[in-house]
Amino acid sequence: MYTNELPYEINRELCRLLDYKNSWKNLAGIWMEYSPFEITYIEQTAQGQERSPTEYLLQKWGQDIHKVEELFLYLYKMKHLSALLCLKPVVRKDLHRKIIKLKKSLNTMEKENEIDNEVSLQKSSDQTNGSIRSIPWIVKQIEMGEPLPNTASLQSVSLSINYNSINFNETSSSETYGISTDEITSRHVFDIPKINYEELKEATDNWSKENLLGSGGFGQVFKGEWKHLTVAVKRLSNNHDCNKEFIREMCLNQYRHDNILPLYGYSLGGAGECILVCQYLPGGSLLHRLKSRTPTPLTWSQRYNIMLGVARGLLYLHTMKPPLIHGDIKPGNILLDGNLMPKIGDFGTATLYTKKLNHENIPKTKKLIGSWPYLPGEYLRDRTLTPAVDVFSFGVVMLEVATALPVIDQSRNQQLLLVHIKELLKEGVDMASLEDPALLGSEHASPALCHAFISIGLHCTKSMQLRPTMLDVFMELDEMEIPVDN
């Protein structure tokens, strides 16, 4: 029997079992070898059609002519006993032995777990009675006499905020950081290595100006050599906003993905100084590459791969549970390694996104976050943060990458790049003529790609209701045909 021939009742029950706790995703990703993006597509399509994602998965998989026995063996490897029992009436009798074997195995595991639970309970009791592992990070820092970022504010922080509705951008009259110290210590900070402050002073040659990579309102970034590794050391200014950024980045910039800048560790210096240590990327920022044109301008193939990588990184953030809104996507926050692979950096404005039917928990900010030329009208009006904000910002970056024009230019009639391009299109200007002047008319020019980049950029910057998701954008980019550089 083939999977698309399963009796209705059996198929319905199997879908119910695999929909529970999203077991179908393990089946799809590990055993059926669907990519994370295909799994996300299946999930979103099923939601749009108001149907079971397992049903849609089995329908899609069944198009390649698979037998029920194949599905049975995958479920056996997953140790999904209930699903095996569901399929028992429609598989060969010799496979029934696997159900018996799995039952025995699960019974043995259950007994072992009972013993482990007893041991864990004893350990938990020991920790409650004063074990060092039960002491929160903040408390340990205070007991050891080490300085904290704005310690008075941290000690008076409100503990009433739930993890599922964290908003890092609102502060109360008691100067809360938008997240409780308990949440920070138990969920996040224990996972981040603490680096000795003196090691970082030595790594940067005592904060030498020769190692200074950049500076701004947040503080300074230095290049350093630490434990035979080249790193970027972000030395934050000692003020309330930078302390908030420190905690926000500590908590949120821990997602491991090829297109996200990894955070190696943190340090606390004298007088409450906060320091973050990240991977050093020799390619600099996308902004620098678009402006400097050295050693040579980016080719279309390189521009495409950079934007595809950024789209992949944003898709990863937007499809987490709960999704993460970066909030400040712009060329300056897109960093490039030696091979021009992009990594999204600066999570200082990142926000966890929770959405309920009554929209009460959609994050709102009193203060403008991000860089306003890259922000959509709906955010500038009511400060409502959704993943669509990142999509809009991505679209503006696509326009910059295609044209190399500044995002804001006071010498233009329309100072904002997005408005400027829309005005030119109304006048009948060919989009291909807006190609980066460094490429336009040369052997490396590509009117078709310039047109495609601007089209995607304009699509991403439509009104919120018409704006695509990052999945839509990624898939559109992924399907494009790009010339290979010689």
Domain 286-478 superfamily per CATH: Transferase(Phosphotransferase) domain 1 (1.10.510.10)
354-358: average pLDDT: 53
135-147: average pLDDT: 42
Residue 154, pLDDT > 70, answer no
Residue type, 37: F
Higher pLDDT, 41 or 221: 221
CA 22-26-29 angle, to 5 degrees, is 125
Report the candidate in 398, 468, 461 with the shortest Cα–Cα distance to residue 434.
Answer: 398
In degrees and rounded to multiples of 5, residue 357 shows phi and psi of: -60, -35
In this prediction, residue 369 carries a pLDDT of 59
* 212-265 per-position pLDDT tens digit: 988 866 778 999 999 888 999 988 776 545 555 555 555 555 567 889 988 888
The set of residues, in sequence order, having a beta carbon less than 8 Å from that of 348 and lying 6+ positions away, is 218, 245, 248, 249, 328
Higher pLDDT, 284 or 322: 284
Higher pLDDT, 78 or 159: 78
Neighbours of 478 (CB within 10 A): 11
453-461: average pLDDT: 97
In this prediction, residue 253 carries a pLDDT of 52
In this prediction, residue 366 carries a pLDDT of 52
Please, are residues 283 and 366 in contact by the beta-carbon 8 Å criterion? no
Residue 132, pLDDT > 70, answer no
In degrees and rounded to multiples of 5, residue 268 shows phi and psi of: -125, 120
412-417: average pLDDT: 93
Residue 121, pLDDT > 70, answer no
In this prediction, residue 269 carries a pLDDT of 73
In this prediction, residue 217 carries a pLDDT of 62
Neighbours of 311 (CB within 10 A): 26
* 315-333 per-position pLDDT tens digit: 988 888 778 899 999 999 9
35-39: average pLDDT: 80
Report the candidate in 341, 405, 335, 325 with the shortest Cα–Cα distance to residue 373.
Answer: 405
Higher pLDDT, 126 or 311: 311
- Going from N- to C-terminal start, the domains of the chain cover 3-91, 151-279, 286-478
Neighbours of 433 (CB within 10 A): 12
* 71-111 per-position pLDDT tens digit: 999 999 999 988 999 999 999 989 999 888 888 887 776 66
Q: In the structure, what pLDDT confidence band is assigned to residue 405 with cuts at 50, 70 and 90?
A: very high
Please, are residues 335 and 284 in contact by the beta-carbon 8 Å criterion? yes
The two most distant CA atoms of the chain are separated, in Å, by: 79
pLDDT above 90 covers a percentage of the chain that reads 40
| Active-site hit among 182, 191, 241, 328 | 328
Lowest mean pLDDT among 169-178, 192-201, 293-302, 348-357: 169-178
Neighbours of 420 (CB within 10 A): 21
Pick the CATH number of 3-91 from 3.40.50.300, 3.40.50.10320, 1.10.533.10, 3.40.50.2030: 1.10.533.10
* 4-27 per-position pLDDT tens digit: 888 888 898 899 999 988 899 989
Please, are residues 85 and 100 in contact by the beta-carbon 8 Å criterion? no
Pick the CATH number of 151-279 from 3.30.200.20, 3.90.1150.10, 3.90.730.10, 3.30.1490.20: 3.30.200.20
* 192-219 per-position pLDDT tens digit: 678 888 999 999 999 999 999 888 667 7
Radius of gyration of the chain (CA): 26
Residue by residue, what is the 3-state secondary structure of the chain?
Answer: CEHHHCCHHHHHHHHHHHHHHHHHHHHHHHHCCCCHHHHHHHHHHHHHCCCCHHHHHHHHHHCCCCEHHHHHHHHHHCCCHHHHHHHHHHCCHHHHHHHHHHHHHHHHHHHHHHHHHHHHHHHHHHHHCCCHHHCCHHHHHHHCCCCCCCHHHHHCCCCCCCHHHCCCCCCCCCCCCCCCHHHHHHHHHHHCCECCHHHHHHHCCCCCHHHEEEEECCEEEEEEEECCEEEEEEEECCCHHHHHHHHHHHHHCCCCCCCECCEEEEEECHHHCEEEEEECCCCCEHHHHHHHCCCCCCCHHHHHHHHHHHHHHHHHHHCCCCCEECCCCCHHHEEECCCCCEEECCCCCCEECCCCCCCCCCCECCCCCCCHHHCCHHHHHHCECCHHHHHHHHHHHHHHHHHCCCCECCCCCCCEHHHHHHHHHHCCCCHHHHCCCCCCCCCCCCHHHHHHHHHHHHHHCCCCCCCCCHHHHHHHHHCCCCCCCC
In this prediction, residue 245 carries a pLDDT of 56
In this prediction, residue 73 carries a pLDDT of 93
In this prediction, residue 63 carries a pLDDT of 80
In this prediction, residue 38 carries a pLDDT of 81
Q: How far apart are the first and last CA of the chain?
A: 51
Residue 357, pLDDT > 60, answer no
Residue 234, annotated as binding a ligand: yes
Neighbours of 394 (CB within 10 A): 25
Number of residues that make up the chain: 486
pLDDT above 70 covers a percentage of the chain that reads 73
Q: In the structure, what pLDDT confidence band is assigned to residue 271 with cuts at 50, 70 and 90?
A: low
Whether 328 is a known active-site residue: answer: yes
Residue 33, pLDDT > 50, answer yes
In this prediction, residue 190 carries a pLDDT of 44
